[in-house]
Chains A and B, each alone.
Chain A
Amino acid sequence: MRLPKFEYHAPTTLKGALRILEQEGPGVQVLAGGTDLVVKMTLGRLKPKAVVDVKGIDGLDQVRFDPNEGLTIGATARIEQVASHTEVQRLYPALTAAAGVMANVQVRNMGTIVGNLCNAAPSAENAPPLMALGADVKLVSLKGERTLPLDDFFRGPGLTAIEPGEIMTAIHVPPPLSGSGNAYQRISARCGVDIAAVCVGVAAVFDGSVCSKVRIVMGAVAPVPMHATEAEKLLLGQKWTADLLEEAGRKAMEEARPISDVRATATYRKQMVNVLTVRALQEVYERAQTV
């Protein structure tokens, strides 16, 4: 329970940070909120030789909404900043629901949404809603920058598409279409200080009661957050009925491939995917009607 010894860098520019990443090579870790990184180091699971603290870099801490551009969340924007953002609350309730309840107050005050994604825990709470909302992420290195759909970002527990020398500088979420809704559902044994045992994020667009676009993403049911592809297919172009939702829930449950661990058994997780998917789908439809 002691932090390992490491070099500490606190660059004030993005370029400076990227240079350090390049110089240090493998074994360097990017630090933002520290709520995952410092825990891993405390428990001896990670022993970086150097840490690059990006909190001092100007301009990365923004949460910005533009009706045409959508939502941009900077690399050092704190979870609480996103959860309490009024436009986010109004237009991306799925994200508010995830960011507003995850972990605890102190972690939300310190941690960042970008960090939550980069940590790539299978249970990362912000991943399902952001993936459902069609977010993409901006990765920058000295060689240049690239944009990647969040769908393609996760590669395994703790593994992402980030290449050595790269930093995720922002998440971008497209503006919600008219007639659309989004929702997030989670299960945990406790209200506070907690992590979801299973979670589901859904976003959908409706033409009347017919679903013209739908994305269902499940968390903590596979090594990475995953789409319930079959359930999405089932719903697409269909009239939204209770029976259809039940069927979609069952499909999602069949697609989920969870493990048993300290937080829940695989069987329970599968059952809950069904329940949460149906609940999120109901919520999405209700929201779409009121927007």
Chain B
Amino acid sequence: MKQFNIIGTDVPRTDGEAKARGTALYTDDMKLPGMLHGRILRSPVAHARIVHIDTSRAALLPGVKCIVTGEDTPKIKYGNWRLFPETQDELPLAVDKVRFIGDEVAAVAAVDKDTAEEALALIQVEYEELPAVFDVDAAMQSGAPIIHDYCPTNVSVNRKIKYGDVEKGLAESDYVREDTFTVHSVSHAYLEPCSAMAQVDLDGRITIWTSTQAPYIVQCLLASTLDMRENDIRVIKPYVGGGFGGKMELRTWEFCAAFMAKKTGRPVKFTLSREEEFLAGRRRHGMKIRSKVGFKKDGTLVAKDLSIQLDGGAFNAMGPTATFLCGNFGAMLYRYPHYRFHGEHVYTNKPPASAMRGFGAPQSLYASEIQMNLAAEELGIDPIDIRLKNAQVTGDEIPDVAVVSSCGLVESIEAVAKMSNWKEKRKSLKPGRGIGIGCYSFISGGVFNWFNTQYPFSAAEIRAFSDGTVHLLTMASDIGQGSDTVLKQILAEELGIRMEDIRMTSADTAMTPQADLGTWGSRVTLMAGNAVIDAAKKIKEQLFGAVSARFNLNVVHDLECKDGRVQSKAKASYGLSFGEAVAMVQKANRGEALVARGSYTPRGKGLVTPAFGFGAQVAEVEVDRKTGLVEVKQMWTAHDCGTVINPRSVEGQLAGSIQMGLGYALSEQFVMEDGKTLNTNFLDYKMPTANDMPPSEVVHIDTYEPEGPMGAKECGEGLASPTAPAISDAVYHATGYRCRDLPITPEKILEGMKKGK
């Protein structure tokens, strides 16, 4: 293991004090002189033709400054998959048709919130209702209502993966089983409702402050939908109150804030209500998963034939990526010699599903992991042993994907088995008490350039100053996960300076170097981290040159940046303070500031990801056999995220994942009736509270990822996957009920126990 100074230490996050004091500004905390307040009118029907919109009464209301409908806009479609324009199916405001309850129909900007709200009620929309469809089976039937004219089958994306010979593999298997699983949709439930505030400057250029995970995506798509040039749009990401995948696209209120600011010449701010977030907000894909697997008698995996239908809702959103990735996740974690996948992204008249922490993995791996346990049982093998037998290891090649360059899966499984006293507890058959396992593998950012960026995936600029400080500029977006802190740690380590000597500007598209694709797919630490190191290395080269010249060092001398100095490794007295060295470089360049740019784009790493994270988790539960209520007593986790840059942050990511996984497994769901979300508040959207969280123990497996910055890779997103299967397996152990359709409700457990008898 490499030796580090700042990497691997519990550095408190650099924005901690601002957040603890309440001085950190989020988008809705800001206001500008003359600012108007915007509100969105949403469709009350699931599928309808818009016959007529009458805004005249609303326009007459004193204080209303601007009303727009789809007809008033440039009507340019957008979507994150710019590489495939046919997937770009969304308009900022509905034109001709609405496709789900909550679909955006019109927007109002008024002098105050009360007036905007009142105006909404005065807009009259005449709808001609159309037949609607709410689940994938119905949507795929011939004669089903067509949601988008361009797509008569309602299947907007088909994705196939194939390697080996699945038929042959299944035929050669000693044991084959086929299972169907359904997994449900859940909410990101970030605490900060979406908000955007836009201002137009005297030249007609737009600045927008928005609660986003992907300022660059917002910049590009806002430019295209407004029919403006990219450089005329400046996106600034203030503090963001969580995203989890739900804030990584251009959204209606961002468009409307900018469009209406342009129209009125006044700043416009939109902030969504929680009710809107639940009613119409993005969500995790519900999926129908059919999986056929073949094993040898000894538990060796031979083949897998996987097909998944994703309930995409009314638009593609990030669904195409989820469709690709759930197929990739189906073949990760274990070695599958023969594999076939068919994924279909299906339109329904529901709010669009999109990216959410895990991006297809929680669904796909729920099926894989439960099926693994079903097979283990039938083959008479312990669930731990069957996993160890098939676990991926460093150097494994996933065909058409990549070589796994570091992998601590076996160590993780062994560690959780030991921590949890698995062998003993799994043997015990105390009614109501159970233990179960779930594993995961996840990507460290994506390679496939669906956004079709013309820039590096991540970039960094470093400006060094003779006072010993540096300024780091990057478009990477800290939305709470702590990337600002981690990137500063990486830079401080690389330049041998203190974190407090680093000023940082991040996530401002006009100020920070082009580009960064945003915070998703666990890409930031690896990609932005590598970009920072790349820039830092260029700075160091210059500093080394200056020190070398100053001390007339032999060219073979090794130099280093350490403890605020730039010096010879062999003889520290041949060295200068960081600031002095910068001053020398500057002098040598006749005043030119010492600036360097770095970037990272994955190369030679296939089309999926540059690196994989792994881990295993064991859950222990107690089930009240009369009420079916599950109490999770303890979680044990062992995971491999490469070098741990900030242990507290990593553990925070882990605990947050467990909270989300717990909700996914047991309590969270959208209760829907005819396309309408009925539970639109936190009272009935049952996200776990502090009372519900189990104690948790964690072990970091020591690995080093060669592609990662200082050996680091993904953490925190992969961990969104193992919790639900682990709890599910534990519930099975406790009650005999095996859940194949999430969530595991008390009622299903009681019903399942009855059947089991």
Contacts and interface: CB of A to CB of B under 8 A. Distances in A.
Please say whether the chains A and B touch (CB closer than 8 A): yes
Nearest to B113: A2
B116 to A, nearest CB: 9
A213 B744 CA distance: 40
Contact of A275 (B114, B275, B627, B686): B627
Contacts of B629: 187, 189
A275 B275 CA distance: 34
Interface residues of B, number: 27
B741 to A, nearest CB: 15
A125 to B, nearest CB: 13
Interface stretch (A110-118, A147-155, A174-182, A262-270): A262-270
Nearest to B628: A268
Interface in A116-132: none
A191 B114 contact: no
A193 B117 contact: no
Contact of B747 (A43, A267, A275): A267
B684 interface: yes
Contact of A2 (B117, B688, B691, B747): B117
B96 interface: no
B186 to A, nearest CB: 14
Contacts of A2: 113-114, 117
Interface in B729-757: 746-747, 750
A28 B692 CA distance: 40
A145 interface: no
B689 interface: yes
B671 interface: yes
B627 A187 contact: yes
A49 to B, nearest CB: 16
B671 A191 contact: no
A46 B678 CA distance: 18
Interface in B228-263: none
B625 to A, nearest CB: 10
Interface in B621-635: 626-627, 629
Nearest to A3: B114
Interface string A210-235: 00000000000000000000000000
Interface string A245-268: 000000000000000011111011
A1 B273 contact: yes
Given A1-B273, A265-B747, A268-B746, A193 B627 contact: no
B679 A192 contact: no
Contacts of A272: 627
A264 B688 contact: no
B667 interface: yes
A275 B629 CA distance: 12
A267 B114 CA distance: 43
A268 B113 CA distance: 42
B4 interface: no
Interface string B684-706: 10101111100000000000000
B287 to A, nearest CB: 22
A38 to B, nearest CB: 13
B682 interface: yes
Interface string B114-131: 100100000000000000
A54 interface: no
Contacts of A195: 683-684
Contact of A1 (B275, B667, B683, B686): B275
B671 A262 contact: yes
A271 B750 contact: yes
Interface in B88-130: 113-114, 117
A143 interface: no
Nearest to A276: B627
A192 B117 CA distance: 32
Interface string B269-288: 00001111000000000000
Nearest to B677: A262
Nearest to B685: A262
Contacts of A191: 689, 691-692
Contacts of B117: 1-2
A16 B626 CA distance: 52
Interface in A270-291: 271-272, 275
A87 B184 CA distance: 47
A90 interface: no
B509 to A, nearest CB: 31
B667 A190 contact: yes
A192 B684 contact: no
A207 interface: no
B39 to A, nearest CB: 9
Interface string B651-692: 000000000000000110001000000110011101011111
A76 B667 CA distance: 34
Chain A CB count within 10 A is highest, among B276, B626, B690, for: B626
Contacts of B273: 1
A20 B627 CA distance: 48
A69 interface: no
B692 A190 contact: yes
Nearest to B670: A262
Interface of B: 113-114, 117, 273-276, 626-627, 629, 666-667, 671, 678-679, 682-684, 686, 688-692, 746-747, 750
30 contacts: A1-B273, A2-B113, A2-B114, A2-B117, A5-B114, A187-B627, A187-B746, A189-B629, A189-B667, A189-B686, A190-B686, A190-B689, A190-B691, A191-B689, A191-B691, A191-B692, A192-B689, A193-B683, A195-B683, A261-B678, A262-B671, A262-B678, A262-B679, A262-B684, A265-B747, A268-B746, A268-B747, A268-B750, A271-B750, A275-B626
Given A2-B117, A192-B691, A265-B747, 8 more contacts: A1-B275, A189-B667, A190-B688, A190-B689, A190-B691, A192-B689, A261-B678, A268-B747
Interface of A: 1-2, 5, 43, 187, 189-195, 261-265, 267-268, 271-272, 275
Closest 9 CB pairs of A and B: A191-B691, A1-B273, A192-B689, A2-B117, A262-B671, A268-B747, A275-B626, A192-B691, A262-B679
